[in-house]
């Protein structure tokens, strides 16, 4: 089996690097996210035409930069790829006191940034040793 060569590295803050050089152009950054996929082995890659460039993520592929709470109490996630989507509370978990959740229809995981953690903490309530958002329990391993 061929050894996978990673063309991209993405650090824990979702800063992209190609061949050890930072990617700072917003369109290239967005192109990479729009074309991000996962292969049969669970490895991430960016696809362009019929070519695959593999991506090594230091942590998770997405970061929740901030949240908004709508008038109907939905929690809206503002992601690092400049998209926004509703939080699926059933996927919210905490690992070492950092919240993570599924995004992009459950295809990927996102880590909450420190500002987003502080924002979501305001929506969390505690009762009898359990934690809740909108009356739904949060999984805390």
* pLDDT > 60? residue 1: no
* pLDDT > 50? residue 141: no
What local confidence, expressed as pLDDT, does residue 123 receive? 83
Element (H, E) at 115: helix 114-121
CB-based contact 87:75 (threshold 8 Å):
yes
What local confidence, expressed as pLDDT, does residue 74 receive? 84
DSSP assignment letter at 89: G
- 47-99 pLDDT, tens per residue? 988 899 999 999 999 999 999 988 887 899 999 999 999 999 889 988 888 99
What local confidence, expressed as pLDDT, does residue 140 receive? 54
For the segment(s) 6-57, the CATH number from 1.10.530, 3.10.540, 1.10.10, 2.60.120 is 3.10.540
* Token duo for residue 61: 């592929």
Element (H, E) at 75: strand 75-79
- 119-137 pLDDT, tens per residue? 988 888 888 877 778 766 6
Domain ranges of the chain: 6-57, 62-137
CB-based contact 54:8 (threshold 8 Å):
yes
């Amino acid at each position: 089996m061929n050894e996978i060569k990673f063309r991209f590295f993405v650090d824990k803050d979702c800063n992209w690097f190609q061949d050890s050089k930072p990617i700072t152009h917003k369109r290239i950054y967005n192109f990479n996210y729009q074309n991000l996929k996962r292969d049969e082995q669970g490895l991430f890659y960016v696809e362009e035409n019929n070519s695959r460039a593999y991506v090594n993520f230091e942590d998770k592929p997405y970061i929740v930069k901030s949240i908004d709470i709508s008038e109907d109490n939905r929690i809206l996630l503002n992601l690092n790829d400049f998209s926004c989507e509703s939080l699926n509370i059933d996927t919210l978990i905490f690992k070492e006191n950092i919240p993570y959740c599924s995004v992009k229809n459950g295809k990927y995981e996102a880590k909450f940034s420190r500002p987003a953690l502080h924002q979501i903490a305001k929506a969390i309530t505690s009762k009898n040793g359990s934690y809740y958002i909108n009356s739904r329990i949060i999984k805390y391993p």
